[in-house]
Each structure stands twice: as C-alpha cells, then as structure tokens.
Amino acid sequence: MSKECDICGKKPSVGKKVIRHGIPKKKGGIGLHTTGISVRRFMPNLQKVRVRTEDGTVLTATVCARCIRSGKVTKA
C-alpha cells in the first residue's frame, strides 16, 4: 500500500518528538528542560476505497480521509 493519496498527493511529513522534564515556572518550578529530541514521521490517514471514475469504471484507490469526507471521491 503506497503512503500517498491518489487524489491530493498527501504524503508522510517529518517532525520532532521533544521530551521535557521539570516543573514549569508558572507552577513554581525552575522551568522545563529538554532532555531528548527524536525525529518522527506523521503518517496520513489513508484508506483503500473502491472509486467510480468519470467514465463510469470502478477501481481501487488509496485515498486520505480528508478527500473522502470532502466529497472529492465518489464511492462505488
């Protein structure tokens, strides 16, 4: 299963997971300290859907949930 939407082209994006320890200054501590940063991937919510095309044929497509909800895809 490909990790890209066939309609809008949405793909996995890259971000960071930041781990912080300590008590915030707002709560009376000395502040939060970053103790670790690791790279992670944000995966799109892809579904395999049977789609009806403009000429009436039915095929299976990998589509993100946003395209299904917004009506860009007509389910067969």
- For 8-50, the pLDDT digits (tens) are 999 999 999 999 999 999 999 999 999 999 999 999 999 999 9
User: What does the alpha-carbon distance between residue 59 and residue 74 come to, in Å, rounded to a whole number?
Assistant: 11
Instruction: Report the predicted TM-score, pTM, of the whole model to 2 decimal places.
Output: 0.74
**Residue 34 counted as domain residue:** yes
- CA dist 24 and 42 (Å) reads 27
How many domains in the chain?
1
The answer to whether position 76 is within a domain reads: no
Q: Is residue 2 part of a domain?
A: no
Specify if 18 maps to a domain.
yes
CA distance 50 to 48: 7
Q: Residue 76: its pLDDT value, please? A: 87
